[in-house]
Amino acid sequence: MATTEALFNPHLEAVAGHFARALEAAAFDGALIPSGEPPMQFADDQPYPFKANPRYRQWVPEASPGCLLAVEPGRRPLLLFRQEADYWHMPPSIPDAPWTRAYDLRIVSDASEARAALPTGRRWALLGEPAPAWDGLGEANPAAVTAPLDYGRAAKTPYEVECLARASLAGARAHRAAERAWRDGASEFAIHLEYCRAAGAREEDLPYNSIVACNEHGAVLHYQHLDRQAPAARRSFLIDAGAPYAGYGSDITRTYAAGPGPFADLVAAVDGVQRRLASLVAPGRDYRDIHLEAHRLIGGVLADCGLSRVRDDDAVDAGVTRAFFPHGIGHLLGLQVHDVGGLMADDTGALRPRPEGHPFLRLTRDLAEGFVVTIEPGVYFIDLLLAAARADRRAALIDWDRVEALRPCGGVRIEDNVVALAGGPRNLTREAFAAT
């Protein structure tokens, strides 16, 4: 396995080339990319957790607030690293890892010193969250630059894939620990703490807020609470949680049944669907077709598990699958959990439509070599959607006694992170679980 250090310089060359083409086509001399600042809480002097500008993280493996990267085609990138004199907080350590040798690294104490260090007479594109410290330095986020950057970022370099593989390893270890805590009778809150411990991460380090859902809470797609008390009965457990590595994050979901029975059978059936869909991830494949295939396969699962009286295409056409599987099959993954560019038709920013009747799909592109996507089919017992189905023509197509029997278990989702490669998909998640 190649190290991230060995893969970084080729990655940097690829990113520099991508930026150079976008800047030159839009007639900019270069780009200024701030690392970002943590926003302050309202009427308070406490900041929210710092989340670095993803455009900055594409260049710089380590991120701290207040830094500025200046990129000019054909020139060595200038990294203005902020290190303030501060006795209230621990100043960031000056990076000295091998990746720094690719940069002109200069230490600055504040934004005014960073501004003074910039080359003059340049037309800059300023790529990041607007901030007073950088006002007037360049044109903020010009679409002629950001659109091709966002479109091209979907194809990951080998360095980025390796970072995502390492994030998957950390996530798989933490998922194993969370499952053990649940089976030992822990509360959602205690499971979450165990997850963070096993991932080696504070909550704010995680790529997104973990979904830790026992029993019927698994029916809430983005369940956001953490019960402090363990449930009286342990029926089911759904956990959707990731882990970070060098700015990249995994996004993994697993669902467990407390014991054998109809819900365990449903979990196994959805897992089989998920493996089938993951096998379809390949360059040239229209991701929308994977989503539509997911509905056809879920239609079969609903019939096999006794929930639906119609199956496959009939279940899709009747709208039965949408009552149990309301979200998209997945999304791009990378520096952001829902990585940019998923709905783009081309590098101008034009949009490629979702399939009719599927408003929540986050990715509509044809897959290409190096795309990393999530594949996450599910079956849920969501009262709001089931009530709508009970009130229309779908009522006669659903076995409501079976629904009521499984509704206390909430739902099932299985999610893997998969790389589209010419030689066949690489499933980072299954690979990571096999290694833990």
pLDDT band of 288, cuts 50, 70, 90? very high
Read off the pLDDT of each residue in 219-247 and give the average, rounded to a whole number: 97
Q: Which residues contact 88 (CB under 8 A, 6 or more apart)?
A: none
Shared domain check, 223 and 75: no
pLDDT at position 153: 97
Is pLDDT at 1 greater than 70 in this prediction? no
pLDDT at position 306: 98
Shared domain check, 167 and 137: no
Shared domain check, 296 and 177: yes
Which CATH number covers residue 16? Answer: 3.40.350.10
Shared domain check, 267 and 178: yes
Of 97, 120, 152, which residue sits at a domain end? 152
Of 152, 186, 214, which residue sits at a domain end? 152
Shared domain check, 424 and 280: yes
Shared domain check, 231 and 118: no
Strand-pairing partners, residue 124, are: 30
Q: How many domains does the chain have?
A: 2
Shared domain check, 170 and 135: no
Which CATH number covers residue 165? Answer: 3.90.230.10
Find the domain containing 17 and state its range.
4-152
Shared domain check, 193 and 96: no
Of 152, 168, 186, which residue sits at a domain end? 152
Q: 158-172 pLDDT, tens per residue?
A: 999 999 999 999 999
H, E, C per residue of the chain = CCCHHHHHHHHHHHHHHHHHHHHHHCCCCEEEEECCCCCECCCCCCECCCCCCHHHHCCCCCCCCCCEEEECCCCCCEEEEECCCCCCCCCCCCCCCHHHHHCEEEEECCHHHHHHHCCCCCCEEECCCCCHHHCCCCEECCHHHHHHHHHHCCECCHHHHHHHHHHHHHHHHHHHHHHHHHHCCCCHHHHHHHHHHHHCCCHHHCCCCCEEEEHHHHHCCCCCCCCCCCCCCCCEEEEEECCEECCEECCEEEEEECCCCHHHHHHHHHHHHHHHHHCCCCCCCEHHHHHHHHHHHHHHHHHHCCCECCCHHHHHHCCHHHHHCCCCCCCECCCCCCCCCCCECCCCCCECCCCCCCCCCCCCCECCCCEEEEECCEEECCHHHHHHHHCCHHHHHECHHHHHHHHHHCEEECEEEEECCCCCCEEHHHHHHHHC
Shared domain check, 166 and 142: no
* One-letter identity of residue 57: R
pLDDT band of 112, cuts 50, 70, 90? very high
* One-letter identity of residue 120: T
Shared domain check, 68 and 82: yes
pLDDT at position 3: 86
Shared domain check, 289 and 230: yes
Shared domain check, 404 and 320: yes
Q: Which residues contact 395 (CB under 8 A, 6 or more apart)?
A: 389
Q: 176-196 pLDDT, tens per residue?
A: 999 999 999 999 999 999 999
> Whole-angstrom Cα distance, residue 344 to residue 168?
26
Read off the pLDDT of each residue in 267-278 and give the average, rounded to a whole number: 98
Strand-pairing partners, residue 257, are: 236
Going by their DSSP bridges, the two strands 139-140 and 124-126 should be labelled as parallel
| Closest listed residue to residue 223, CA positions, set 236, 238, 235 | 238
Strand-pairing partners, residue 214, are: 237
> Whole-angstrom Cα distance, residue 332 to residue 156?
10
Percent of the chain clearing pLDDT 70 (strictly above) = 100
Mean pLDDT of the chain: 97
> Whole-angstrom Cα distance, residue 86 to residue 367?
47
Q: 235-265 pLDDT, tens per residue?
A: 999 999 999 999 999 999 999 999 999 999 9
